[in-house]
Chain A
Amino acid sequence: MERVAIEKKVLSENDRIAQQLRARFAERGTLVLNCISSPGSGKTSLLERTLEGFPPETRVAVVTGDIQTDNDARRLARFGFPVRQITTAGACHLDARMVEKSLDGWDLSELDLLLIENVGNLVCPTSYDLGEESKIVILSVTEGDDKPLKYPGAFAKSRLMVLNKIDLLPYVPFDMEAARRNARSINPEIEIIETSCTAGHGLDAWRQWIGARIHEAARKEEPG
Protein backbone atom coordinates (compact mmCIF):
# COMPACT_ATOMS: atom_id res chain seq x y z
CA MET A 1 0.00 0.00 0.00
CA GLU A 2 1.34 3.42 -0.96
CA ARG A 3 0.07 6.77 0.28
CA VAL A 4 0.40 9.59 -2.25
CA ALA A 5 0.08 13.19 -1.07
CA ILE A 6 -2.25 15.19 -3.28
CA GLU A 7 -2.74 18.42 -1.27
CA LYS A 8 -5.17 19.91 -3.73
CA LYS A 9 -7.83 22.40 -2.75
CA VAL A 10 -11.28 21.34 -3.80
CA LEU A 11 -12.91 24.16 -5.77
CA SER A 12 -9.44 25.19 -6.90
CA GLU A 13 -10.80 26.05 -10.36
CA ASN A 14 -13.36 28.36 -8.76
CA ASP A 15 -10.61 29.88 -6.62
CA ARG A 16 -8.42 30.41 -9.69
CA ILE A 17 -11.17 32.34 -11.50
CA ALA A 18 -11.99 34.25 -8.31
CA GLN A 19 -8.37 35.35 -7.98
CA GLN A 20 -8.39 36.57 -11.59
CA LEU A 21 -11.59 38.50 -10.89
CA ARG A 22 -10.13 39.97 -7.70
CA ALA A 23 -7.08 41.16 -9.63
CA ARG A 24 -9.33 42.73 -12.31
CA PHE A 25 -11.45 44.48 -9.70
CA ALA A 26 -8.39 45.76 -7.83
CA GLU A 27 -6.70 46.98 -11.02
CA ARG A 28 -9.78 48.99 -11.97
CA GLY A 29 -10.54 50.18 -8.43
CA THR A 30 -13.96 48.51 -8.30
CA LEU A 31 -15.19 47.63 -4.84
CA VAL A 32 -17.07 44.33 -4.92
CA LEU A 33 -19.35 43.30 -2.06
CA ASN A 34 -20.87 39.81 -1.90
CA CYS A 35 -24.13 39.89 0.05
CA ILE A 36 -25.20 36.57 1.56
CA SER A 37 -28.09 35.62 3.80
CA SER A 38 -30.97 33.22 4.29
CA PRO A 39 -33.91 33.58 1.91
CA GLY A 40 -36.20 36.39 3.06
CA SER A 41 -33.77 38.32 5.23
CA GLY A 42 -34.11 41.41 3.06
CA LYS A 43 -31.10 41.39 0.71
CA THR A 44 -33.05 42.78 -2.22
CA SER A 45 -34.82 45.37 -0.08
CA LEU A 46 -31.50 46.51 1.35
CA LEU A 47 -30.07 46.86 -2.15
CA GLU A 48 -33.18 48.74 -3.28
CA ARG A 49 -32.78 51.24 -0.45
CA THR A 50 -29.07 51.45 -1.19
CA LEU A 51 -29.55 52.25 -4.88
CA GLU A 52 -32.41 54.61 -4.08
CA GLY A 53 -30.08 56.71 -1.96
CA PHE A 54 -27.33 57.02 -4.55
CA PRO A 55 -27.17 60.07 -6.81
CA PRO A 56 -27.74 59.17 -10.50
CA GLU A 57 -24.07 59.72 -11.36
CA THR A 58 -22.97 56.99 -8.92
CA ARG A 59 -20.90 54.39 -10.74
CA VAL A 60 -22.60 51.29 -9.34
CA ALA A 61 -23.90 48.04 -10.81
CA VAL A 62 -25.60 44.99 -9.36
CA VAL A 63 -25.42 41.29 -10.13
CA THR A 64 -28.20 39.36 -8.47
CA GLY A 65 -28.50 35.59 -8.20
CA ASP A 66 -31.57 33.46 -7.84
CA ILE A 67 -32.45 29.86 -8.53
CA GLN A 68 -35.38 30.91 -10.70
CA THR A 69 -37.02 34.15 -11.93
CA ASP A 70 -35.60 37.57 -12.71
CA ASN A 71 -37.88 39.25 -10.15
CA ASP A 72 -35.01 40.74 -8.15
CA ALA A 73 -33.26 42.18 -11.21
CA ARG A 74 -36.50 43.84 -12.27
CA ARG A 75 -36.98 45.29 -8.79
CA LEU A 76 -33.43 46.64 -8.72
CA ALA A 77 -33.40 47.95 -12.31
CA ARG A 78 -36.05 50.55 -11.39
CA PHE A 79 -33.33 52.78 -9.98
CA GLY A 80 -31.59 53.27 -13.32
CA PHE A 81 -28.29 51.56 -12.56
CA PRO A 82 -27.00 48.54 -14.54
CA VAL A 83 -28.36 45.28 -13.16
CA ARG A 84 -27.85 41.71 -14.32
CA GLN A 85 -29.63 38.60 -13.13
CA ILE A 86 -27.89 35.25 -12.82
CA THR A 87 -30.45 32.45 -12.79
CA THR A 88 -28.69 29.40 -11.43
CA ALA A 89 -31.38 26.89 -12.48
CA GLY A 90 -31.11 24.87 -9.30
CA ALA A 91 -27.65 25.71 -7.98
CA CYS A 92 -27.81 26.97 -4.40
CA HIS A 93 -25.00 29.53 -4.75
CA LEU A 94 -23.17 31.76 -7.22
CA ASP A 95 -19.72 30.69 -8.33
CA ALA A 96 -16.86 32.71 -9.78
CA ARG A 97 -17.47 31.58 -13.36
CA MET A 98 -21.10 32.73 -13.21
CA VAL A 99 -19.97 36.15 -11.99
CA GLU A 100 -17.24 36.33 -14.64
CA LYS A 101 -19.78 35.64 -17.39
CA SER A 102 -22.24 38.15 -15.96
CA LEU A 103 -19.65 40.92 -16.34
CA ASP A 104 -19.42 40.52 -20.14
CA GLY A 105 -19.64 43.90 -21.82
CA TRP A 106 -19.27 45.96 -18.64
CA ASP A 107 -16.28 48.27 -18.41
CA LEU A 108 -15.18 47.79 -14.81
CA SER A 109 -13.09 50.94 -14.94
CA GLU A 110 -16.44 52.77 -15.18
CA LEU A 111 -17.65 51.17 -11.93
CA ASP A 112 -16.71 52.18 -8.40
CA LEU A 113 -19.01 49.61 -6.83
CA LEU A 114 -20.34 46.21 -7.82
CA LEU A 115 -22.92 44.73 -5.47
CA ILE A 116 -23.46 40.98 -5.72
CA GLU A 117 -26.64 39.56 -4.25
CA ASN A 118 -25.99 35.87 -3.74
CA VAL A 119 -28.62 33.14 -3.77
CA GLY A 120 -30.50 33.02 -0.46
CA ASN A 121 -28.58 30.39 1.50
CA LEU A 122 -26.26 30.67 4.48
CA VAL A 123 -24.25 27.52 3.75
CA CYS A 124 -23.08 26.95 0.18
CA PRO A 125 -22.27 30.58 -0.80
CA THR A 126 -19.63 30.63 1.93
CA SER A 127 -17.64 27.99 0.03
CA TYR A 128 -17.41 29.95 -3.21
CA ASP A 129 -15.05 32.88 -3.50
CA LEU A 130 -16.42 35.33 -6.10
CA GLY A 131 -13.41 37.63 -6.09
CA GLU A 132 -15.17 40.03 -3.75
CA GLU A 133 -13.39 42.49 -1.47
CA SER A 134 -15.76 41.63 1.37
CA LYS A 135 -18.59 39.32 2.17
CA ILE A 136 -21.53 40.87 3.98
CA VAL A 137 -23.94 38.69 5.90
CA ILE A 138 -27.46 39.94 6.43
CA LEU A 139 -29.44 38.60 9.38
CA SER A 140 -32.99 39.73 10.00
CA VAL A 141 -34.60 39.86 13.41
CA THR A 142 -37.33 37.48 12.26
CA GLU A 143 -34.66 34.78 12.29
CA GLY A 144 -33.04 33.35 15.39
CA ASP A 145 -30.42 35.34 17.29
CA ASP A 146 -28.39 32.11 17.47
CA LYS A 147 -28.00 31.92 13.70
CA PRO A 148 -24.31 32.92 13.85
CA LEU A 149 -23.73 29.80 15.94
CA LYS A 150 -25.77 27.58 13.63
CA TYR A 151 -24.13 28.84 10.42
CA PRO A 152 -20.68 29.89 11.60
CA GLY A 153 -19.02 29.84 8.18
CA ALA A 154 -21.07 32.74 6.85
CA PHE A 155 -20.26 34.88 9.89
CA ALA A 156 -16.62 33.83 10.13
CA LYS A 157 -15.96 34.92 6.55
CA SER A 158 -17.90 38.19 6.55
CA ARG A 159 -16.49 41.62 7.27
CA LEU A 160 -19.88 43.07 8.15
CA MET A 161 -23.12 41.77 9.62
CA VAL A 162 -26.23 43.78 8.79
CA LEU A 163 -28.95 43.20 11.38
CA ASN A 164 -32.01 43.97 9.32
CA LYS A 165 -35.74 44.52 9.93
CA ILE A 166 -35.11 46.09 13.34
CA ASP A 167 -38.48 47.87 13.09
CA LEU A 168 -39.99 44.44 13.86
CA LEU A 169 -38.14 44.07 17.18
CA PRO A 170 -41.24 44.89 19.28
CA TYR A 171 -43.03 41.93 17.73
CA VAL A 172 -40.40 39.17 17.73
CA PRO A 173 -38.40 37.47 20.50
CA PHE A 174 -35.02 38.44 19.04
CA ASP A 175 -32.24 39.38 21.45
CA MET A 176 -30.01 41.95 19.70
CA GLU A 177 -27.25 41.67 22.28
CA ALA A 178 -27.23 37.87 21.97
CA ALA A 179 -27.02 38.16 18.17
CA ARG A 180 -24.05 40.54 18.44
CA ARG A 181 -22.37 38.36 21.05
CA ASN A 182 -22.92 35.20 19.00
CA ALA A 183 -21.55 36.81 15.83
CA ARG A 184 -18.48 38.10 17.66
CA SER A 185 -17.87 34.72 19.29
CA ILE A 186 -17.41 33.39 15.74
CA ASN A 187 -15.69 36.46 14.29
CA PRO A 188 -14.38 38.97 16.86
CA GLU A 189 -13.56 41.47 14.10
CA ILE A 190 -16.99 41.50 12.46
CA GLU A 191 -18.53 44.94 12.08
CA ILE A 192 -22.25 45.33 12.77
CA ILE A 193 -24.81 47.75 11.38
CA GLU A 194 -28.49 47.71 12.33
CA THR A 195 -31.00 48.58 9.62
CA SER A 196 -34.66 48.74 8.76
CA CYS A 197 -35.41 49.07 5.09
CA THR A 198 -39.04 50.01 5.72
CA ALA A 199 -38.44 52.59 8.47
CA GLY A 200 -35.08 53.76 7.11
CA HIS A 201 -33.07 53.13 10.28
CA GLY A 202 -29.35 52.64 9.84
CA LEU A 203 -29.29 53.18 6.09
CA ASP A 204 -27.04 56.22 6.40
CA ALA A 205 -24.54 54.18 8.42
CA TRP A 206 -24.71 51.42 5.80
CA ARG A 207 -24.10 53.87 2.93
CA GLN A 208 -21.26 55.48 4.87
CA TRP A 209 -19.71 52.06 5.40
CA ILE A 210 -19.89 51.39 1.65
CA GLY A 211 -18.51 54.85 0.91
CA ALA A 212 -15.52 54.28 3.17
CA ARG A 213 -14.79 50.96 1.47
CA ILE A 214 -15.07 52.54 -2.01
CA HIS A 215 -12.63 55.22 -0.90
CA GLU A 216 -10.27 52.53 0.36
CA ALA A 217 -10.53 50.55 -2.90
CA ALA A 218 -9.78 53.69 -4.94
CA ARG A 219 -6.83 54.57 -2.69
CA LYS A 220 -5.31 51.12 -3.23
CA GLU A 221 -5.65 51.54 -6.99
CA GLU A 222 -3.62 54.77 -7.01
CA PRO A 223 -0.02 54.19 -8.11
CA GLY A 224 2.70 54.54 -5.54
Chain B
Amino acid sequence: MHEMGIASEVIEAVRVEIARHPGARPSKVGLRVGEWAGVDVESLRFCLEVLVKDTDLDPLALDIEFRPQGSELDIAYLELEE
Protein backbone atom coordinates (compact mmCIF):
# COMPACT_ATOMS: atom_id res chain seq x y z
CA MET B 1 0.00 0.00 0.00
CA HIS B 2 1.09 3.57 -0.52
CA GLU B 3 0.24 4.97 2.93
CA MET B 4 3.88 4.75 4.03
CA GLY B 5 4.90 7.05 1.17
CA ILE B 6 2.15 9.48 2.09
CA ALA B 7 3.19 9.35 5.76
CA SER B 8 6.79 10.08 4.75
CA GLU B 9 5.64 13.12 2.79
CA VAL B 10 3.69 14.37 5.81
CA ILE B 11 6.77 13.99 8.04
CA GLU B 12 8.87 15.83 5.46
CA ALA B 13 6.37 18.71 5.42
CA VAL B 14 6.38 18.81 9.22
CA ARG B 15 10.18 19.07 9.24
CA VAL B 16 10.12 21.87 6.66
CA GLU B 17 7.65 23.77 8.83
CA ILE B 18 9.50 23.32 12.16
CA ALA B 19 12.71 24.54 10.52
CA ARG B 20 10.90 27.89 10.17
CA HIS B 21 10.19 27.95 13.91
CA PRO B 22 13.48 27.39 15.75
CA GLY B 23 13.00 26.19 19.33
CA ALA B 24 9.41 25.08 18.79
CA ARG B 25 8.36 21.46 19.17
CA PRO B 26 5.56 20.03 17.00
CA SER B 27 2.76 18.52 19.06
CA LYS B 28 0.04 17.80 16.52
CA VAL B 29 -0.37 17.64 12.76
CA GLY B 30 -3.77 18.01 11.13
CA LEU B 31 -4.70 16.26 7.89
CA ARG B 32 -7.78 16.31 5.68
CA VAL B 33 -8.52 12.99 4.00
CA GLY B 34 -11.37 12.59 1.54
CA GLU B 35 -13.41 9.41 1.28
CA TRP B 36 -12.32 9.04 -2.34
CA ALA B 37 -8.65 9.86 -1.83
CA GLY B 38 -7.68 6.20 -1.98
CA VAL B 39 -6.19 6.27 1.50
CA ASP B 40 -6.84 3.91 4.37
CA VAL B 41 -6.96 6.24 7.36
CA GLU B 42 -6.02 3.61 9.93
CA SER B 43 -3.11 2.43 7.81
CA LEU B 44 -1.94 6.03 7.41
CA ARG B 45 -2.21 6.56 11.16
CA PHE B 46 -0.14 3.42 11.79
CA CYS B 47 2.55 4.45 9.27
CA LEU B 48 2.88 7.90 10.84
CA GLU B 49 3.21 6.38 14.30
CA VAL B 50 5.97 4.07 13.05
CA LEU B 51 7.87 6.91 11.37
CA VAL B 52 7.67 9.19 14.41
CA LYS B 53 8.44 6.63 17.12
CA ASP B 54 11.79 7.19 18.86
CA THR B 55 12.60 10.25 16.76
CA ASP B 56 12.82 13.88 17.81
CA LEU B 57 9.18 14.26 16.64
CA ASP B 58 7.91 11.67 19.15
CA PRO B 59 5.19 12.16 20.39
CA LEU B 60 3.30 13.79 17.54
CA ALA B 61 -0.48 13.67 17.74
CA LEU B 62 -2.44 13.17 14.55
CA ASP B 63 -5.75 14.85 13.81
CA ILE B 64 -7.43 13.45 10.71
CA GLU B 65 -10.52 15.22 9.44
CA PHE B 66 -12.37 12.72 7.26
CA ARG B 67 -14.31 14.30 4.40
CA PRO B 68 -17.20 12.19 3.06
CA GLN B 69 -17.41 12.18 -0.77
CA GLY B 70 -14.21 14.21 -0.97
CA SER B 71 -10.91 13.61 -2.75
CA GLU B 72 -8.77 15.79 -0.51
CA LEU B 73 -5.42 14.66 0.83
CA ASP B 74 -4.05 17.75 2.52
CA ILE B 75 -1.81 18.69 5.39
CA ALA B 76 -3.95 21.35 7.03
CA TYR B 77 -1.99 22.58 10.04
CA LEU B 78 0.76 21.97 12.55
CA GLU B 79 0.54 22.76 16.25
CA LEU B 80 3.76 23.92 17.87
CA GLU B 81 4.76 24.26 21.51
CA GLU B 82 7.43 26.75 22.50
| A interface, CB within 8 angstroms of B | 1-11, 13, 91-93, 123-128, 152-154, 156-157
Asked whether, in the complex, the Cβ of B79 is within 8 Å of the Cβ of A1, the reply is yes
Asked whether, in the complex, the Cβ of A3 is within 8 Å of the Cβ of B36, the reply is no
- Determine the distance from Cα of A125 to Cα of B74 in the docked complex, in whole angstroms: 17
Asked whether, in the complex, the Cβ of B27 is within 8 Å of the Cβ of A1, the reply is yes
Which B residues are CB-close (under 8 A) to A7? 74-77
B-side interface residues, number (CB < 8 Å): 29
Interface residues of chain B: helix, strand, loop or mixed (majority) = mixed
Q: Which residues in chain B, 59-73, are within 8 Å of chain A measured between CB atoms?
A: 69, 71, 73
The answer to the question of B9 belonging to the interface, with a C-beta cut-off of 8 Å to chain A, is yes
Q: Which residues in chain B, 19-44, are within 8 Å of chain A measured between CB atoms?
A: 21, 24, 27, 31, 35-40
Which A residues are CB-close (under 8 A) to B31? 10
Which A residues are CB-close (under 8 A) to B50? none
| B interface, CB within 8 angstroms of A | 1-2, 6, 9-10, 13, 17, 21, 24, 27, 31, 35-40, 69, 71, 73-82
CB distance from B19 to the nearest CB of A (A): 12
Q: Which residue of chain A has the shortest Cβ distance to B33 in the bound complex?
A: A10
Asked whether, in the complex, the Cβ of A4 is within 8 Å of the Cβ of B21, the reply is yes
Asked whether, in the complex, the Cβ of A127 is within 8 Å of the Cβ of B2, the reply is yes
Asked whether, in the complex, the Cβ of A157 is within 8 Å of the Cβ of B36, the reply is yes
